[in-house]
């Protein structure tokens, strides 16, 4: 077996521009991976703990004066606007890390802003609450794409451990997401009020920043500031720029139509930039790789438009129309918010299986191409909604509710689809982009998720807010919307499956 130093030397010889992290491995991966794993664990604890309560809290605390359906429609639009902006600012955060702060300082500044914003969500008035959401949005833009990019920078091009490294990192994301809804929403929020759940989420982010700082030495040079950009002045510049950015983000949170137009404009600008960059690179292969990356961004948009119903329409469905199991765990009875932990549970259980599966299939030369994996992910998203359509149409009881088993099964199928697409997509971006543009490309990946979340908010407003009156009519509304999502997902999945050989050819050997 090769020693860590031998592996680093081989990687450097294969690509002289690659500088490996400081020596030291754990479980076959660079030790620095586990720093990023722990930091992301606590950041996701903050985000998913807050997200589990967000739509429900907004509907009850700020729109209770409206009818039930109208309140949920407004809450779904607010939720969709927030989650889209969270990912939308990633492209600016990637640029800042690439050119100004470096990845390490971007992560620290972004995390501090997210903690501050989470504390602001405890406010009883809508204005302060929305400013808190805006601060979280800007902070997340500095944090989220850059920690993912740093994972890619731990591995040399061609290192077979890269995909499994991203899958391990993905488990960190979901371990935090697993415990957050239970602790923040179900244990604290439902008992003491959601504002104290937001407080618990903020404290999680502070712990994450402490983890990152304590073992920062494991990262070494990875993610440090660019030459000529060290010192406090660049930090102050970015901090001022971030504060100024909070103002338009606050405005866009309540202007859904303007936000949609801006997302489209940004995506078109991103497409133009990467096509221009590919052409001016002088490499036909690089141009083709950027075209392939942009095509796969389209699949990513559709997948997350379906998947991100979890925090909005599926959360409202669970609140009103899902029969919870009659159990008590040390005196605690699960509430509907715990469904936000179901997906992470399945991720943690299944991610090691999928990571091992890809390696074994690769050795047997049966590993599906990246485009084929994307099409399988879309099939999973579609089939999950068909399960709910069947349950709502055929199994609802006299109380107008379906068993918790059906929603759990939906999350299981969605999770299997996610494991075919999301960690693979993160690794794909770091492989297809030029080394000098990996931060920007990762920001583009998250911009595609931003578009998906915007669309998801519109879908959720239709599914959970479009019907008034009896429970039965609401069930019909959910079933009709989910049935349309099923057919849309299946059709697009088939198209991507058939186009996979062409997309794979554009990738010029990237696997």
Cα 185 off chain centre by: 19
Q: Which residues of 222-258 are buried (b: 16+ CB within 10 A; e: fewer)?
A: bbebeeebeeeebbeebeeebeebbeebbebbeebee
The yes-or-no verdict on residue 250 having pLDDT over 90 is yes
Segment 458-469 shows an average pLDDT of 67
pLDDT value for 68: 63
Segment 432-457 shows an average pLDDT of 84
Q: CB-based contacts of 164: which residues, under 8 Å, 6+ apart?
A: 29, 355, 358, 359
- The two tokens of residue 408 are 């759990």
The yes-or-no verdict on residue 255 having pLDDT over 90 is no
Torsion (CA) 373, 374, 375, 379 in degrees, nearest 10: 100
The yes-or-no verdict on residue 10 having pLDDT over 70 is no
pLDDT value for 4: 44
Segment 468-473 shows an average pLDDT of 45
What distance in Å separates the CA atoms of residue 197 and residue 72, rounded to the nearest whole number? Answer: 20
Q: So where are the chain's domains?
A: 25-506
pLDDT value for 470: 44
What distance in Å separates the CA atoms of residue 409 and residue 405, rounded to the nearest whole number? Answer: 6
The yes-or-no verdict on residue 3 having pLDDT over 50 is no
pLDDT value for 138: 93
The yes-or-no verdict on residue 9 having pLDDT over 50 is no
Q: For the whole model, what pTM was predicted?
A: 0.78
Name the nearest CA neighbour of 133 among 179, 79, 186, 172.
79
What distance in Å separates the CA atoms of residue 195 and residue 50, rounded to the nearest whole number? Answer: 10
Name the nearest CA neighbour of 52 among 287, 296, 318, 393.
318
| Domain 25-506 sits in CATH 1.20.1250.20 | yes
pLDDT value for 254: 81
Name the nearest CA neighbour of 344 among 45, 55, 111.
45
Q: Please state, rounded to an integer, the average pLDDT across all residues of the chain.
A: 85
What distance in Å separates the CA atoms of residue 50 and residue 208, rounded to the nearest whole number? Answer: 15
In the chain, % of residues over pLDDT 70: 94
H or E element that contains 462:
helix 438-465
Model confidence at 227, pLDDT cuts 50, 70, 90, reads confident
In the chain, % of residues over pLDDT 90: 37
The yes-or-no verdict on residue 60 having pLDDT over 70 is yes
Torsion (CA) 61, 64, 66, 72 in degrees, nearest 10: 60
pLDDT value for 286: 93
Contact 91, 138 (CB under 8 A): no
pLDDT value for 466: 52
pLDDT value for 471: 46
**Mutual angle of helices 103-120 and 233-253, in 10-degree steps:** 40
């Amino acid at each position: 077996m090769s020693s860590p130093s031998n592996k680093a030397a081989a990687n450097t010889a294969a690509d002289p521009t690659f500088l490996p992290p400081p020596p030291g491995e754990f479980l076959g991966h660079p030790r620095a991976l586990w720093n990023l794993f722990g930091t992301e664990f606590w950041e996701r604890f903050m985000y998913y703990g807050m997200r589990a309560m967000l739509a429900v809290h907004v509907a009850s605390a700020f729109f209770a004066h409206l009818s039930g359906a109208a309140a949920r429609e407004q809450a779904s639009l607010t939720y969709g606007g927030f989650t889209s902006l969270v990912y939308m600012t990633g492209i600016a955060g990637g640029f800042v890390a690439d050119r100004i702060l470096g990845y390490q300082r971007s992560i620290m500044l972004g995390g501090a802003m997210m903690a501050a914003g989470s504390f602001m969500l405890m406010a009883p008035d809508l204005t302060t609450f929305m400013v808190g959401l805006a601060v979280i949005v800007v902070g997340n833009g500095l944090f989220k794409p850059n920690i993912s990019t740093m994972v890619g920078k731990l591995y040399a091009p061609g290192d077979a451990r890269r995909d499994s490294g991203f899958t391990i990192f993905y488990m960190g994301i979901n371990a935090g997401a697993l415990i957050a809804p239970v602790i923040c929403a179900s244990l604290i929020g439902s008992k003491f009020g959601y504002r104290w759940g937001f407080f618990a989420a903020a404290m999680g982010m502070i712990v994450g920043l402490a983890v990152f700082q304590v073992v920062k030495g494991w990262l070494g040079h990875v993610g440090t500031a660019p030459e000529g950009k060290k010192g406090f002045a660049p930090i102050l510049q970015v901090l001022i720029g971030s504060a100024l950015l909070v103002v338009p983000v606050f405005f866009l949170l309540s202007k859904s139509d303007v936000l949609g137009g801006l997302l489209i404009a940004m995506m078109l600008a991103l497409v133009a930039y990467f096509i221009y960059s590919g052409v001016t690179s002088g490499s036909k292969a690089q141009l083709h790789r950027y075209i392939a990356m942009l095509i796969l961004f389209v699949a990513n948009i559709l997948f997350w438009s379906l998947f991100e119903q979890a925090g909005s329409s599926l959360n409202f469905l669970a609140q009103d129309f899902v029969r919870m199991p009659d159990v008590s765990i040390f005196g605690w009875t699960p509430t509907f918010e715990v469904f936000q932990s179901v997906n992470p549970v399945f991720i943690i259980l299944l991610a090691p299986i999928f990571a091992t599966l890809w390696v074994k299939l690769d050795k047997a030369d049966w590993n599906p191409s990246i485009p084929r994996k994307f099409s399988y992910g879309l099939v999973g998203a579609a089939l999950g909604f068909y399960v709910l359509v069947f349950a709502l149409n055929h199994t609802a009881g006299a109380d107008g509710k379906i068993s918790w088993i059906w929603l759990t099964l939906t999350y299981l199928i969605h999770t299997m689809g996610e494991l075919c697409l999301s960690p693979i997509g993160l690794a794909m971006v770091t492989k297809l982009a030029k080394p000098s543009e990996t931060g920007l490309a990762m920001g583009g990946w998250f911009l595609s998720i931003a578009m998906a979340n915007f669309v998801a908010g519109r879908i959720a407003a239709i599914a959970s807010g479009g019907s008034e009156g009896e429970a039965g009519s609401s069930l019909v509304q959910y079933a009709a919307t989910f049935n349309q999502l099923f057919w849309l997902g299946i059709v697009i999945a088939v198209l991507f499956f058939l186009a996979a050989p062409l997309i794979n050819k554009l990738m010029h050997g990237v696997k």
